Amino acid sequence: MKKAFTLALAICVIGLIAYACDGGSTGTLCTRNISGVSSTSEAKLYYPCTITGSVGATSMSSGYTGTLSAIEWMSNQVANAGFVVLAFTPSNTLGMVSLWRDAHKACISKLKDLNSNDATLRGKINTSKLSTCGHSKGGGGSLWASSQLTTQLKTTIGLAPYEEGFSDSALRTITAATFIEAGAGDTLANNSMTRGEYSGLSTSISRKYVEYTGYDHMAWASATGARADKMAGDAIAWMKYYLNGDTSQKSIIADQSGTSRFEWVDMSGGSSSSSSSSSSSSGCN
């Protein structure tokens, strides 16, 4: 009887420890829902359960008709790489890109608030290392939000970003290091659109554009396997390099495998380098 009680007590303690990880965890990853983020119908945090010092953070979203669950694969990978992620579903998944823009901005504001007031994350988010990231209309919203947040962000990532309601004049005001992932076979956020967005960026910022061979517009929705690892890995390398100054990520950023078009201009350290490719290469499809 005593042994049974001891075992039951141990199980309860383990359960309390898991609960202390703020509502959910997978390995060393913690998650919890967040309320009160304007322009969203739901928002969810993903972050390392143990954070030493303070780390960078990003907003994260899917696109038209999508919810945060469609981009959870990337939220998990980015959080497991050491960042705080605040993913969201906009208040109207059938809305205009401006709604995603407003939600990204609200998430950045919420991340700052969490750093100031949250019992778990207070002092754990480095508010000088913030980013936005989204797919489709969420990607367009990521770029548009960055054009308005300017120096509040250090990086911005658009995953097949759909352009609606904003123009090159807005894109030119982005000051964050900007990465656009596109699909060579995308007929929605087609290559003319995504290349135009890249061309519209200021020539004074670090920027990268890739078209992944064989990817269509929905390649980023609930991605799995090698595709997920490639797309998330490239985004994580971008964040580690431009948010954290981790120069070991250069080889990943420069990797052109699996792309039919590639360009990277690196303005960090006062220098500029670029490369481009129009030929297809195999792998990661």
Across the chain, which has 285 residues, the per-10-residue mean pLDDT values are 36 33 57 97 97 97 98 98 98 98 98 98 98 98 98 98 94 98 98 98 98 98 96 98 97 97 88 49 31
Sign of CA dihedral 70, 71, 77, 80: negative
- Which pLDDT belongs to residue 276? 55
Residues 151, 180 contacting (CB under 8 angstroms): no
- Which pLDDT belongs to residue 277? 56
Q: Which amino acid is at 73?
A: W
Going edge to edge, which strands form the sheet with 207-212? 25-26, 29-34, 40-48, 84-90, 55-61, 125-135, 155-159, 177-183, 207-212, 259-265, 276-277
- Which pLDDT belongs to residue 269? 66
- Which pLDDT belongs to residue 17? 33
Verdict on whether the full-model pTM lies above 0.85: yes
Tell me the domains of the chain and their CATH numbers. 27-277 (3.40.50.1820)
